Structure formats: structure tokens, C-alpha cells
Structure 1
Amino acid sequence: MDAILSAIGQYHPVTQALLATLFTWGVTALGAAVVFFFREIRQEVLDAMLGFAAGVMIAASFWSLLAPAIDLSERISTLPGWLPAALGFMGGGLFMAGVDKVLPHLHPGLKMEEAEGVSTNWRRSVLLVLAITLHNIPEGLAVGVAFGAVAHGLPAASIGAAVALAVGIGLQNFPEGTAVSVPLRREGFSRRRAFWYGQMSGAVEPIAGVLGAWAVMTMQPILPYALSFAAGAMIFVVVEELIPESQQAGNTDLATIATLAGFTLMMSLDVALG
């Protein structure tokens, strides 16, 4: 593992962020490829997958983003260590709330009249993709910021922690790809079209990742804010979307256990590699 981390460390941080988010996008595509083998997935399985994704994002928000943000702010800022993290965290959540109100999107399993955002005549397939794309933005941003932070040589930001975050985000992207492609297949889309839409939901991650890495590399003072901003954005997605969706079919215990499993896995990855 040390050899792998050393090899990754030889690349420029923006390149690292690009490669990492291409990996997370690839896992989204892998999840979308499930549609080539199954027309439907049992609701219990989908709920467990969504719960698992929520657990990963909760753990990543603290261990990979908030905790380093507090530590970094104590080192590079004259403000109390908790203040930049608190401001960034709330800023990330409010930003996602604003995007959620504006960007037209439709969560899987809901009717067209339950679409969120501004009113539009866009097709159901586009709205479904945008729903997943919406929370892939903070995921890509989080990975990019984590790799960009490593460039500053601060103890709280390590290449191992950034890699752990990318792996964790990648793992929880698998059910997200499936959550788009399988419902589209069930609605009559061809397998190829359903796969295409499913994998496209992850295309925004490399863009957000590169922008995040570039921003924190060029402006070190914003680093604690950027890390906690990404954390707040991810927690908003978890509470507003992933947990409610995983529970709405009544598989509450299963989804909750899966959330704990996702949290445990991400926590273990971050502690082991970070």
C-alpha cells in the first residue's frame, strides 16, 4: 500500500484529483452497467445500497473533511479552530439547499408532479439523471479538495486520507449508478440508453474535483472553509435525499444497518490509510 501511495504522490495534485474522480465516475458507470444483467432490482437491495452510500458519506464528511478542517484552521488561521469549519459547513449545506430549489430534478420512485426545482418540461429521464448529478457535485468537490490540501504539506492532509476518501466515494457511487439505470430500464428504456444516462450522472465529478483541487492549491487560506464546505454539502445530500429514499419503502432496519456498515467501512478506510 505504501508503494501505491508513493506512486500516486508523484503526480501533480490536480492530476491526482482528476484521476481519483475519473475512478469514482468509473464506479458510477459500473453500477449503471447492472442494467445489462437485471431489468429490476429488489427494493430491499436498493434501499440497503442507498443506506450504505449514506453511511460512507457521513463518515467521510467527518474523518476526511471536518476533522482536517478544524486541525488546519488551528494551524493557519488566527480564528478559533471551530469557526472556519462551522462557517464552511453551514455554507456547503445552504449552497446545496439553494441548488436543490433551483435545479430541476426528480428522485427515483417519484411521479413527475413531484419533481423539485424550477418548473420545466424536461423529460423524466433527464430529471432522474439530474437528481443523482446533484449530489455528485459535492462528492467530486470533496475528493478534489482533499488532494489539493495535500500540496500544502500540512500534517492533517495526507495522500492516504485523500485516497481513502476517493475509494469510499467510489464505493458509494455504485448504487447511485444503479439507482438511475434500473428505473429507466423498468420504464421501457433500452439497456444501452439506461446505462448511458446512469453513467452520465457521475460525469460532473471530475469537473468538480479538478476545480476543488485547483482552488485550494492557489488559495491556502480558504482550505479549512473548502474542506468543511464539502462536508456540509454531503451531509445535506445524506439527510435530504439518501436516508429518506432508503427508508420510504418500509425497509427501515435493513437500510439503517446498511448505513452503519457504510459508516464503519469508510471510518476504517480513513483511519487505516490516513
Structure 2
Amino acid sequence: MIESFQALNPALQALLAGIFTWGMTALGAAAVFLRQEIDRKVLDWMLGFAGGVMIAASFWSLLLPSIEMSSGSGLPEWIPAAAGFLAGGLFLRGIGMTLPHLHPGRPSGETEGPTTSWHRLTLLILAVTIHNIPEGLAVGVAFGALAAGHETASLAAAFALALGIGIQNFPEGMAVSIPLRREGFTQMKSFWYGQLSGVVEPVAALIGAVAVIFAAPILPYALAFAAGAMIFVVVEDVVPESQMHGNADLATMGALVGFVVMMVLDVGLG
């Protein structure tokens, strides 16, 4: 089975990896069929864990390879990483300013982006969907890098990144579906909207892979771009949400564990 996967085009590998991370979001959202409520401490720990995974993935799987790939390019090694990183954050900021959305756990009066009359549910789903774009891009760029044949790119490293993002997508699915159930939605609707937030990941993964396959010179910038976008999400959304209910220490410990898990996956498998 592994040999069959290795024989696939990197773009198709990225799409399948994106489907896996989406599936993990759906699996987390399916928790709504087992219970209508989850202890806030558990959820905050999970959110902290997700943030830790994203921070570690941003460095070990994206920024560090970006710097290594820039060696011998004629530019200082830090320029592609710095430029791509800032561009990724600005990209997410631009989407946030253009598209109305509401971060989970926030009152309706704190909707970000243009003024709108859209339903609270739509705004919540849009916020999590925006959150998932950089994760899909990161997976796509990692698999697309295989086509460039760079010595720092490996299938094991791409697998490790997809696995890490998939693991942290599980609590994200729960963080959408269970609050919706609490607000009165049926179990099926809560699950449907919870998993829907992850649909963007296979699409973003395919776009990221195709971009670097057909424009190999942008690879260091693309890796850093995905890292910047993920760090933007962590700082703006994941960390504040995990620490706004009085469980800051617990969420911080979750972040430390998440960072170590992703680091071990990347260094151990990559």
C-alpha cells in the first residue's frame, strides 16, 4: 500500500493527505453523537494542544526546510523565509478583513470583517474555514516539494506533517459541532457543519502542491507562507480561545505537549 502511494503524483498525494486531515475534522465533529457537552477544561487543553502542534509544524516542517532550501540561491538564506512568512500572515489578515466571520466562543457583537446580517452559524463556520486554509496549504506544499527533488524534502516528512495536522484537527471538529448542539441544533446538523469547516483543506492542499510543482523556485517562499498563515491563526484565534475561560495554565500545558508531539513526529519520521 505504501509503495502504491509513493507511485502517485505528488499533487494526488497532497489531495489524499488533505482528505485525511478533513476526515480527522469530521471524526472530531462526530463526537456530537456521543455527547452534547464537553468539559471546558478538556476542550481548552485540546485547543492548546492544537496550537502547539501548529507552532511546531510551522518551524520544523515549514520554516526550517525553507531556510535550508534557500542555501545557494544567491540570496541570504533568511530572505525567502522572512518574506514568505510575513506574506502568509498578511494573506490571512486580508481574508479576515474581506470575509465576515466570528471566532468560536465570542459574542455576535464581536464579528470581524465587513458588517453583515449573516446568521451566527455561517459566521462561525467561516471563521473555522479560514483557520483551515493554511493547514491545507502546508500539507500541499510539503507533498509538492517532493516533485522538486530537493534533498530536504521527503515523503516521511510530508506524512509526519499531515499526521500532525490531522491529530490537531480532531479537537477542532469537536470545538465546532458540540457548541452548535448546545445552541439547539440537531446532532446531524451539528456534525454536518462541524465537518464542513474542514472541506477547504483538500482543496487548499491541492492548490499548494500544484503551485510548487509548476513553479519550483517559489518553494522556499511557499513553505514560509504556510508557516506565517498558521502562526497568524494560532496567535489570533487558537491561543485566545483556549485561555478565555479560566484554564490558561491547562491550555498552556496542552500547547507544550502538542509542540513536543509534532516535533517528535517531524524529527522522528522526517
The answer as to 2:146 corresponding to 1:150 is yes
Equivalent AA in structure 2 for residue 198 of structure 1: G
The answer as to 2:173 corresponding to 1:177 is yes
Q: Please, which of 244, 248, 253 is the counterpart of residue 257 of structure 1? A: 253
Which residue of structure 2 aligns with residue 237 of structure 1?
233
The answer as to 2:217 corresponding to 1:224 is no
Which residue of structure 2 aligns with residue 26 of structure 1?
23
Which residue of structure 1 aligns with residue 187 of structure 2?
191
Q: For 2:152 and 2:66, locate their aligned partners in 1 and report how far apart those are by CA, in whole Å.
A: 8
Listed as ranges, the gaps of 5+ residues in structure 1 are: none
Q: For 1:33 and 1:156, locate their aligned partners in 2 and report how far apart those are by CA, in whole Å.
A: 37
User: How far is 1:177 from its partner?
Assistant: 0.7
Which residue of structure 1 aligns with residue 55 of structure 2?
58
Which residue of structure 1 aligns with residue 134 of structure 2?
138
Q: For 1:7 and 1:271, locate their aligned partners in 2 and report how far apart those are by CA, in whole Å.
A: 24
Aligned residues: 270
Q: For 2:244 and 2:103, locate their aligned partners in 1 and report how far apart those are by CA, in whole Å.
A: 12
Q: For 1:147 and 1:127, locate their aligned partners in 2 and report how far apart those are by CA, in whole Å.
A: 31
Which residue of structure 1 aligns with residue 262 of structure 2?
266
Q: SS at the partner of 2:185?
A: coil
Q: For 1:48 and 1:117, locate their aligned partners in 2 and report how far apart those are by CA, in whole Å.
A: 28
TM-score (norm 2): 0.98
Q: Please, which of 152, 161, 165 is the counterpart of residue 165 of structure 1? A: 161
User: How far is 1:8 from its partner?
Assistant: 2.6
Equivalent AA in structure 2 for residue 65 of structure 1: L
Q: For 2:64 and 2:186, locate their aligned partners in 1 and report how far apart those are by CA, in whole Å.
A: 45
Which residue of structure 1 aligns with residue 44 of structure 2?
47
Q: For 2:258 and 2:184, locate their aligned partners in 1 and report how far apart those are by CA, in whole Å.
A: 32
Equivalent AA in structure 2 for residue 35 of structure 1: V
